[in-house]
Structures are given as C-alpha cells and as structure tokens.
Amino acid sequence: MRAAVLIVVAVALLAVVNGAYHGQKVVRAVIETDEQRKTIESWNLDVWSYDSVLIIGENDIRVNGEQLIQLQGLGVQFSFLIPDLEAHMEKAYILHEESRKADNPDVDFFTAYHTYAEITAWLQNLTTTYSTIARFIPSVASSIEGRALPGIVITGTATGAKKNLFFSGGQHAREWIAPATVLYIIEQLLLGYGKTTDVTNLLNSAVIHFVPLVNPDGYFYTWASNANRLWRKNRRANSGGTYGVDLNRNWDDHWGGEGSSGTPSSDTYRGTAAFSEPESKGVAAYVTANGPFVGAIDYHSYSQLILRPYGWTSTPPPNEAKAKTVGDTIRDRIRAINNVAYTSEASWQLYYASGVAPDWWYSKASIPLSYTIELRDTGNYGFQLPPAQIKPTGAENWNAFLYFGAAAIAN
C-alpha cells in the first residue's frame, strides 16, 4: 500500500510541475473598509487565514495575476506571503514524499502525514494494543460518499462516576495538521496511562471521546493525484456543478448567519439547511447520545488561535469569565513548550461565523467549555505545514490538553 501511495504523491507532484498553481500567489492584504471587504468577498477568492473569513485588517488570500490587479484597483495594500505558489506547493510535495519514504509508522507514526486508510487502521490497532483502556468506534457517522468517521474512546480502569470530554479534528480537508494533532494526543494518553500521574488521574476521572477526521471525503480528495490539495469542504454534489459544504458552517446554532455563505461555490458555503450534511449531523448525534460532556475542542489550522464562543454574536456567554481564563491558560501552556505564541479570544472578536461546532456544543449540547484551536502556523507555510512540525505542534498542544482536561472535569 505504501508504494501505491508514493506513486500517487509523485503524480500529484507532476501536476504541480505541470502548472496546477501556475501564476498564483498568496498575499497578505490589509482590508481597511467594510466596502472593500464586501467587494472582495463577492469575488469568492480562496481566503487562507482566519477560517476563510475576510476581516477588517490583515487577510491571507490566494490570487492570480488578474485578481492582484483587482486588489490594487480597490486601493488594498498587500505584501507577498507566498510569491510563487507553484514553487511553494512543489517544495511541500517533495518534503511530503521524502517523509513518506522514510516513514516507519510502527516505530513513529508522526514523522509523516497519513492517509485516511492508514489513520483508520492505526486507531484500530491502538485499541487492540491498549484494549483495557481504549475502544475503537468503526463509524461514528457516515460521510456523504459513504466513508466511515472512525472514533476512539479512552478511559482508565478505575470505577465510579466519570465525566465526558470530546475532541475532533479535520472538519476542513486541507488542514492536515489538525487530525495529526488529535492522533498525537491519543497516543500520548495511551502511552502515559499508569506511568504518569497527570494522565492516570485524568483517565481515571474522565471518558475521553475522539473523532480525529470529521471530513473523510474531503481529506481523501486532497490526497488524490488528480484532485486539489487545497480543498476545504466535504464532497457533496451541489446544484450548478459545484461541490462541497463547509461542515463548520453547517451546525444547527444560528445557521445561515454572518460569516457563512449561501453560494455553493464558496469555501464557507453553509449547505441547504442546518445539519444538511451527514458528517456534522452524525457527530452532533454522537455527542447528544453519549453526553453530557463537560469540555470539547475542535482542532483546525492555521493562525495559532484559541477561540471560545460565541462566533455569531458579540454578546458574551454566561460563563465568559471562566471560558476566558481557561482559554488564556491553554495559550500559556502551549507557549511553555516551544515558545510558540497563540492568541486567546472570543471568536467574534476576530470574525463573525455562524453555524460552527463550538457554538452548538455550548448552546445546544450544554458543554460549558467549548473551543476551536487553530494550530500552526501564521502563514509562512499555511496549509502545507512540513511533516517535521507535526511532533512539535502535537507536543505543545498535548501540554495544553492535559491542563484543559483537568480544568474541564473540575469545573
């Protein structure tokens, strides 16, 4: 299987060389007025920063030469973040291919990114090895193309009342570091139980549920040789010949509001109705059936942010003081490992977004501590974070995870 995957990567690299991203750039554009923002939004460009939402301020946007001229015509100031996207993607593919060739997942799973099939098999194998504390869920839900959303539940052998925690990643297909980080946390929990006090105490007090890859179809598509490495949404066939719904605009909490789009070709297309997509609907049903939960985090990339509810309104939730304290401490725990700076804030302070998972978790599933974490980096690599940064990203977020788990069950 590994040889077949390497052939796929080589073909994908050839597609880059043959001009899939020819003439494209990523610019950091400074939007100064709401009029500029709305005009650029109408162009339906690929926004890389801040969960693909345009804000007043700095935005990372993928453009071609004609679109660059349009930005200049609007009077938008910009600098080149990635001046040659084709060369950038080519280098990313080479690093990816090299890491796959050198990878030995039986020794270290985190020296390379992994396919959907490899992730599923790895989770299943872990539950065999750690069968006393881990249970594999073959399918939390099914995707629009019929793929399973695998899950894993981990808890210690201690008896008595325990509290539930929930963690997910991979709602957006191109954000490969997100499921990789969730998987890193899973392994650290299993390795640490019975060996370190923090892990043992946490697992003896909690049942921890993981869905590392909420969007398997989109993720699978980003690995395909004839596809688009920068694909974000799921793979629903929309009217008009477009594809995909943004799963993190499809949750049934203020669905259809600001920060989502009704245009099917948009990267933030919200779908035809709340929970129109089997992936978001299925994960929500799992949370409802296995609760109550006391804490939840949804992992994304990029921008290095810890975001708390709400996304749809500036009115703070009743537990704003507590949620801020926990978010700020997550930030500090991340920085303590590799001195990488994340920002902690309410989602709306950065941008408005409606129909997102943490707002649903907080408001509809009554999970008091609900967050989005946007992982590395701040734009130098964007969605092509090198494989060498998987373990450092995992380590800093593992430190924060241990704090968050203890804080949530004590809340």
What are the residue numbers of the active site?
374
Which alpha helices (DSSP H) does 254-367 contain, by range?
A: 278-290, 320-338, 347-350, 357-363
Peptide bond into 309 cis (omega under 30): no
Q: How far is it, in rounded angstroms, from Cα 153 to Cα 165?
A: 10
* Cβ atoms of residues 309 and 369 within 8 Å: no
Phi and psi at 106, nearest 5°, equal -75, -20
Q: How far is it, in rounded angstroms, from Cα 154 to Cα 132?
A: 9
SS3 of the chain = CHHHHHHHHHHHHHHHHCCCCCCCEEEEEEECCHHHHHHHHHCCCEECCHHHCCCCEEEEEEECHHHHHHHHHCCCEEEEEECCHHHHHHHHHHHHHHHHHHCCCCCCCCCCCCCHHHHHHHHHHHHHHCCCCEEEECCCCECCCCCECCEEEEECCCCCCCEEEEEEECCCCCCCHHHHHHHHHHHHHHHHCCCCHHHHHHHHHEEEEEECCCCHHHHHHHHCCCCCCCCCCCCCECHHHCECCCHHHCCCCCCCCCCCECCCCCCCECCCCCCCCHHHHHHHHHHHHHCCEEEEEEEEECCCEEEECCCCCCCCCCCHHHHHHHHHHHHHHHHHHHCCCCEEEEHHHHCCCCCCHHHHHHHCCCCCEEEEEEECCCCCCCCCCCHHHHHHHHHHHHHHHHHHHHHHHHC
Of 279, 322, 89, residue with least CA distance to 169: 279
Q: How far is it, in rounded angstroms, from Cα 364 to Cα 298?
A: 16
